[in-house]
Amino acid sequence: MRGLGALGLVAPLVLFLGVFFFWPLATMLTTAISDDAVSRAFPATAEALADWDGAVPPSPAIQTAVASDLRENDDRSLLGDAVRRLNSAVPGFRSLITGTYREVRRDEAVPVDLVAIDPGWGEAAVWRGFARAMPPYTDRNLLAAVDLGRDAEGKIGPVAAQASANRVIMTRTFVIAASVTALCAAIGLPFAMLIAASGGRLRAMLLLAVLLPLWTSLLVRTAAWVVLLQNSGLVNQALEAVGLIDRPLPLIFNRAGVVIAMTHVLLPFMVLPIYSVLLTISPALMPAAATLGARPLSAFWHVLLPLVLPGLASGALLVFMVALGYYITPALVGGAEDQMISSVIAFYATGTANWGMAAALGIVLLAATLVLYAVYARFSRTPPGFAA
């Protein structure tokens, strides 16, 4: 009875995790590998092709199955999906199907000689592509996400260099996320130390300065950076006024703008974990290090830094993970060469309705992130500085 009550208490949590975490994840995974458009539009062909001996043209039974599938088709959009899928595997498939569709519907003869209707059916590549499109699951999207593909023989190999840029964009995504993380650490650590060292009103003000960005719309903050960083913006005007530069620095619509704006937006995720760790460090430690003969810099290096490292690590992890998925900021303040993987995912999801490709890219991103997290967990198991 008590066990049941406890189960009841965690039920909302389990339900929440299931509906909002595992279900979308599972959907994404299946979307990425599902490929049932052809097998659903050609059910009889799928069955007949299962024991195809590879002869071209195939047996009349198989050809008849194709014709009957085309005759009995009453869902044009389903057929359209299948044709799109087939055409992407074997160029020219669309016109082949369109012509055959019209012909077999007009003339209901059995058995059917497809090659007579269209000589295109005599080509081996057509039938091989047809057969390969039949299984309801495919690794096509996952391979494409990392710029790989299967050639006509079904061997995995890199796709043509100009055909896809997923690897380049993926690398760029990690480089941008890493630069933002490094910059956040370089600014966040001293800032958190300043907050921890100050008291009263000053501390409240500094904390407010960290938290304020979290309370402002991401869009507004990013737009503000456009205003600040543009050629006639505040930053360039100020630099020109003090004579440091005589021509406006290109700070916006390039990598610099993306890194600056993202660092600003993500800084709280670095400052807050470090600050909370700093609060647990006894204020007497640094004076103690000084009386023991440590100069300020070596006191920082030997005492404060090892103690603050867990906060720095979790801050870095947070910033890095969030930065990986950034979409709006690079889109608004970056150039074409600064778009991150999210924009590619968005392109597939909303631009071309290729959900399989969008999901596959998402999975690759998730996998890369999980690998990084595993590395982090491995190194943070023994707290830094605690090794004998």
Partner 1 sequence: MGEGFIRFEGISKAFGAQTVVRDLDLAIERGEFLSLLGPSGSGKTTILMMLAGFIAPTRGRIRLDGREIQDVAPYRRDLGVVFQSYALFPHMSVAQNVAFPLRMRGVARAEIAARVGRALDMVRLGALSDRRPAQLSGGQQQRVALARAMVYEPKVVLMDEPLGALDKQLREQMQLELRDLHRALGLTVVFVTHDQSEALTMSDRIAVFNAGRIAQIGTPEAVYDRPETRFVAEFIGETNVLEAEVASCEDGLVRLTVGRDRVLVARTERALAPRQGVLVCVRPERIAVTEDAQAPNAMPVTVADAVYQGDHIRLRLEGEGLSLIGRRGRAEAPLAAGAPGFACFAPEDCALVDA
What does the binding site for partner 1 look like in residue numbers (CB under 8 A)? 282, 284-285, 287-296, 298-299, 302-303, 306-307, 383-386, 388
Taking the complex as a whole, how short is the minimal distance between the CB of residue 1 and partner 1, in angstroms? 41
Q: Is the peptide bond before 57 cis (omega within 30 degrees of 0)?
A: yes
Rounded (5°) CA angle 197-198-203? 125
Q: Give the residue with the Cβ less far from partner 1, 303 or 357.
A: 303
Distance CA 30, CA 35 (A): 9
Q: Give the residue with the Cβ less far from partner 1, 301 or 373.
A: 301
Q: Give the residue with the Cβ less far from partner 1, 284 or 336.
A: 284
Taking the complex as a whole, how short is the minimal distance between the CB of residue 191 and partner 1, in angstroms? 23
CB 245 within 8 A of CB 236: yes
Q: Give the residue with the Cβ less far from partner 1, 200 or 293.
A: 293
Taking the complex as a whole, how short is the minimal distance between the CB of residue 285 and partner 1, in angstroms? 5
Q: Give the residue with the Cβ less far from partner 1, 102 or 302.
A: 302
Rounded (5°) CA angle 270-273-275? 100
Distance CA 320, CA 260 (A): 15
Look at residue 148 and give its three-state secondary structure. strand
Q: Give the residue with the Cβ less far from partner 1, 115 or 294.
A: 294
Taking the complex as a whole, how short is the minimal distance between the CB of residue 188 and partner 1, in angstroms? 21
327 token code pair: 């979409």
Taking the complex as a whole, how short is the minimal distance between the CB of residue 375 and partner 1, in angstroms? 22
Length of the chain: 388
Taking the complex as a whole, how short is the minimal distance between the CB of residue 317 and partner 1, in angstroms? 20
Q: Give the residue with the Cβ less far from partner 1, 33 or 294.
A: 294
Q: Give the residue with the Cβ less far from partner 1, 105 or 302.
A: 302
DSSP 8-state symbol, 158: E
Distance CA 121, CA 57 (A): 7
Write the DSSP assignment of 203-230 as a string of letters.
HHHHHHHHHHHHHS-HHHHHHHHHHHHS
Taking the complex as a whole, how short is the minimal distance between the CB of residue 303 and partner 1, in angstroms? 6
Residues in CB range of 84: below 8 A, 6 or more apart: 37, 94
Taking the complex as a whole, how short is the minimal distance between the CB of residue 238 and partner 1, in angstroms? 36
Taking the complex as a whole, how short is the minimal distance between the CB of residue 217 and partner 1, in angstroms? 41
Taking the complex as a whole, how short is the minimal distance between the CB of residue 297 and partner 1, in angstroms? 11
221 token code pair: 């903050």
Q: Which helix (H) or strand (E) holds 377?
A: helix 355-380
What is the residue whose two structure tokens read 């979290």? 214
CB 176 within 8 A of CB 340: yes
* Amino acid found at 231: N
| Residue 164, φ and ψ in degrees, nearest 5 | -150, 150
Q: Give the residue with the Cβ less far from partner 1, 29 or 193.
A: 193
Nearest CA to 278 among 196, 200, 184, 385? 196
Q: Give the residue with the Cβ less far from partner 1, 155 or 201.
A: 201
Distance CA 272, CA 257 (A): 24
Q: How many CB atoms lie within 10 A of CB 233?
A: 17
Distance CA 339, CA 331 (A): 6
